[in-house]
Amino acid sequence: MITGFDRLMAAANGEKSDRIPVFCNLLDQGAKELGLSLKEYYSKGEYVAEGQLKMREKYGYDNLWSLFYVGKEAELLGCKNIIYANDGPPTIGHMVFRKPEDIHNMVIPDDISNHPEFQETLKCLQILKKESGDKYPICAYITASMAMPAMLMGMEKWMDMLLSGPFDLRDKLLAMTSDFFKKQLVAYRKAGADIIIYSNPFGSPYFVSAKLFNELSMPWMEKDLQGVDRFGLVYYCGGARMNQVLNQVIEKLGFATFYLSPFDDIAQGKQLIAGRALCAGVINDIKLIDWTYDEIKAEVKRMLDAGMKGGKFFFGTLVMPLYIPEKNIRYMLEAVYEYGSYA
Amino acid sequence: MINEVRKAYNQAIFDTDKILAMRIVHDALDRGLSPEDIVFKVVVPSIEYMSTSFGQDFGASLAQHFMTAQIAALVTDEMLSKFTSPPEIVGKIVIGTSQGDFHGLGKKIVIGCLKAQMIESVDLGLNVSPEKFVDEAIEHNAQIIGISSMMLHTARGENGCLKVRQILKERNLADKIKIIVGGAPYRYNHDLYKLVQADAWAENGIDAGLVLKKLLEEIKQ
Ligand code: B12
């Protein structure tokens, strides 16, 4: 049997297996699979693991997730309130920093693996590893140093501090969140995560100018990645575009996998990467909600036509909204399995 | 002199240098440029300038939009108190993020850009209920309700724009108060604003002013 790992390794090496690898990021959907509310579902690592395994089995795609919701990282740093909805992902309802001085009081936990807030994630990872570890790559999501403060003080205040200072405080905070990134990475890898999504919207030219990218984003990404094994590390800008920075990120940061934005031109992205890295073409999963069967097929075909040439390509989604009808998920996957086949 | 000031100001914004931008404005004032000219001939054109280069390669980025808006609001606030006669306000909008949504940056950028364009905004804050959007619009005599949503479910869910629309209909206000929406999900699907029954949307804070002026015209007719 050909596994998700086989497909991914083949693609990474520029070889062909039966078809291209397919990453389908279903998170909240797991609750429905288990007949639980989102709040119940996310209360236990066992549930999330079971949801992940069930959905992968049901749809046949190639990846598993240890991510509950992104706000979990803020919980590791003291966030006390997560707000649940019935029809969408949990969001942060408590900002750890109320005033700038609070930054001085933050402590980055030394040992994430033993942190109480990490235990359910750990359980989830252990189950995934045991049940499917050598067949389907387990993905973990970690926020880059530059994006983490948005979850601790809000994007508005963070943007202000990032651009207008006080710069000593900003740099102190970034040093802490960079340390936090590294420590999370250690914990996730120790627990068996195969693929680490390095999430940094500030690594996108949608967010920052060329000048800021070079003077701020690059140095902080270099710090995050200092001494870090690049194997299994994926460059992701939170869904924002990245084509213009691909070359720099390969040359200076040594990433070997990119998760493009639906706003990136796939053919152009592949051309810029020029065989130096693995690249995911990513579908606009917000449009997927309303597309017809024919529209879905046509869009998948367009994407794969643009991306499959020359190999080193896989298919991906962003954070799939709960509003996507199940049949559209199936249509999308059927189309990828068909057009993405090498048989 | 105006051209020179405008150029320097644009460059400061492009470099996201707030301190320099403010210094340029104050120097210009000292050298005799009127507060009116600073707003209408320096700040407003800089907003339009940002708009044309946004989204193109390494053109203007969100960081620069944020700066444009923040500094535009700062300068306009300061200059308004120095105007010889009060300026004509083009219209009024109440704006907030939809229920369950705590992402405030988009709204902030929009408000900053509108201020310089003489559209008055009332900031309703985060996590605003549909009833509150309507009640506040009536209370403040606003012609427009602005709803910012950064997540799909807060844009499309039953307590977002759809409910605001329903309340407007129930109260027979649909002709008097228009709805404009914006935020990440609308950028991914340009038809989403129709699905949630808004009157319009804008891709970014800078375009919001142009779209709003059009909406205001429609209401007047
Ligand atoms: C940065 C970012 C993050 C950061 C910071 C989040 C924050 N703000 O605190 C991090 C990495 C932490 C993050 C986390 C999450 N994110 Co996020 N994130 C983004 C990203 C890259 C940008 C969003 C943002 O902050 N933009 C800043 C605003 C100001 O920019 P803007 O949208 O361009 O705003 C302009 C226009 O929209 C317009 N506008 C805005 N409002 C209004 C209002 C009116 C009236 C008008 C006219 C115009 C207008 O003007 C603005 C200024 O020019 C987007 C993807 C993208 N490319 O947009 C995803 C995105 C918003 N995230 C998404 C999701 C799902 C999440 C999570 C819920 C994931 C999860 N399952 O946990 C978490 C939630 C975190 C939380 N709050 O608890 C999804 C939402 C869609 C969906 N599937 O529901 C997106 C779209 C990515 C995706 N497609 O999957 N995220």
Query: Min CA distance, B85 vs chain A (Å)?
Result: 33
Ligand 1: distance of its center to the CA of B149 in Å? 8
Using CB atoms, which residue from A88, A91, A159 is nearest to B157?
A88
Q: What is the DSSP letter of B60?
A: B
Residue with CA closest to ligand 1 atom 79: B151
A23-35 average pLDDT score:
98
The angle that helices A266-273 and A293-307 make with each other, rounded to 10 degrees, is 20
> To the nearest whole number, what is the mean pLDDT of chain B?
92
Query: Min CA distance, B151 vs chain A (Å)?
Result: 8
pLDDT-derived band at B39 (thresholds 50, 70, 90) equals: very high
Judged against a pLDDT cut of 70, whether residue A333 lies above it is answered with yes
The tally of domains found in chain A comes to 1
Q: Give the start-to-end residue ranges of the domains of chain B.
A: 2-80, 91-220
What is the Cα B35 distance to its own chain's centre? 21
Structure confidence at residue B198 (pLDDT): 98
- Does residue B106 line the site of ligand 1, with CB under 6 A? yes
Residue from A282, A292, A297, A293 nearest A336 by CA? A297
- Does residue B178 line the site of ligand 1, with CB under 6 A? no
Residue from A237, A249, A252 nearest A202 by CA? A237
CB–CB contact B152 A286 (8 Å): yes
Interface test with B, best of A79, A159, A248 (most B CBs within 10 A): A159
Structure confidence at residue B58 (pLDDT): 52
Ligand 1, atom nearest to A285 Cα: 89
Structure confidence at residue B54 (pLDDT): 55
Judged against a pLDDT cut of 80, whether residue A108 lies above it is answered with yes
What is the Cα A37 distance to its own chain's centre? 23
Q: Which CATH number applies to B91-220: 3.40.50.280, 1.10.3720.10, 3.40.710.10, 3.30.1330.60?
A: 3.40.50.280
The total number of residues shown for chain A amounts to 343
> To the nearest whole number, what is the mean pLDDT of chain A?
97
CB–CB contact A321 B58 (8 Å): no
Chain A residues with CB under 8 Å of B104 CB are: 154-156
- Does residue A201 line the site of ligand 1, with CB under 6 A? yes
- For residue A135, CA distances in Å to A2, A26, A114, A128, A129 come to 9, 18, 27, 10, 9
Please state, in angstroms and rounded to a whole number, the distance separating the CA atoms of residues A152 and A79.
Answer: 8
The residue to which tokens 């004032």 are assigned: B29
The answer, as to whether pTM is greater than 0.90, is yes
B215-219 average pLDDT score:
90
The architecture in CATH of the region B2-80 reads Orthogonal Bundle (1.10)
Using CB atoms, which residue from B55, B105, B192 is nearest to A156?
B105
Cβ atoms of residues A17 and A7 within 8 Å: yes
- Does residue A144 line the site of ligand 1, with CB under 6 A? no
CATH at A78: 3.20.20.210
Structure confidence at residue B53 (pLDDT): 63
Ligand 1: distance of its center to the CA of B106 in Å? 9
**pLDDT tens column, B45-96:** 988 888 776 555 556 789 998 999 999 999 999 999 999 988 889 999 999 9
Please state, in angstroms and rounded to a whole number, the distance separating the CA atoms of residues B154 and B170.
Answer: 22
Chain A residues with CB under 8 Å of B192 CB are: 286
| Residues facing residue A257 across a β-bridge | A278
Using CB atoms, which residue from B62, B151, B189 is nearest to A287?
B189
Ligand 1: distance of its center to the CA of A218 in Å? 22
Please state, in angstroms and rounded to a whole number, the distance separating the CA atoms of residues B47 and B65.
Answer: 8
Exposure of A187 by Cβ count < 10 A (0-12 exposed, 13-18 middle, 19+ buried)? buried
Judged against a pLDDT cut of 90, whether residue A305 lies above it is answered with yes
Structure confidence at residue A161 (pLDDT): 96
Q: What is the DSSP letter of A19?
A: B
Nearest 5°: CA angle at A209, between A204 and A212?
95
A295-319 average pLDDT score:
98
Determine the structural domain holding residue A195 and report its residue range: 4-339
Question: Residue A200: helix, strand or coil by DSSP?
Answer: coil
Judged against a pLDDT cut of 60, whether residue B11 lies above it is answered with yes
Cβ atoms of residues A56 and A67 within 8 Å: no
Structure tokens at B204: 């970014």
CB–CB contact A207 B105 (8 Å): no
**pLDDT tens column, A245-258:** 999 999 999 999 99
Cβ atoms of residues B93 and B143 within 8 Å: yes
Structure confidence at residue A150 (pLDDT): 97
**pLDDT tens column, B96-125:** 999 999 999 999 999 999 998 999 999 999
Please state, in angstroms and rounded to a whole number, the distance separating the CA atoms of residues B33 and B9.
Answer: 14
The total number of residues shown for chain B amounts to 221
Share of chain A above pLDDT 90, in %: 97
Q: What is the DSSP letter of B4?
A: H
Structure tokens at A53: 């395994």
Q: ipTM, 2 decimals?
A: 0.94
Please state, in angstroms and rounded to a whole number, the distance separating the CA atoms of residues B71 and B8.
Answer: 14
Nearest CA in chain B to A156: B105
**pLDDT tens column, A270-290:** 999 999 999 999 999 999 999
What is the Cα A53 distance to its own chain's centre? 18
Cβ atoms of residues A199 and A181 within 8 Å: no
**pLDDT tens column, A164-207:** 999 999 999 999 999 999 999 999 999 999 999 999 999 999 99
In sequence order, what DSSP letters do the residues of A284-322 get, joined into one string? -TTGGGT--HHHHHHHHHHHHHHHSTTS-EEEE-SS--T
Nearest CA in chain A to B57: A244
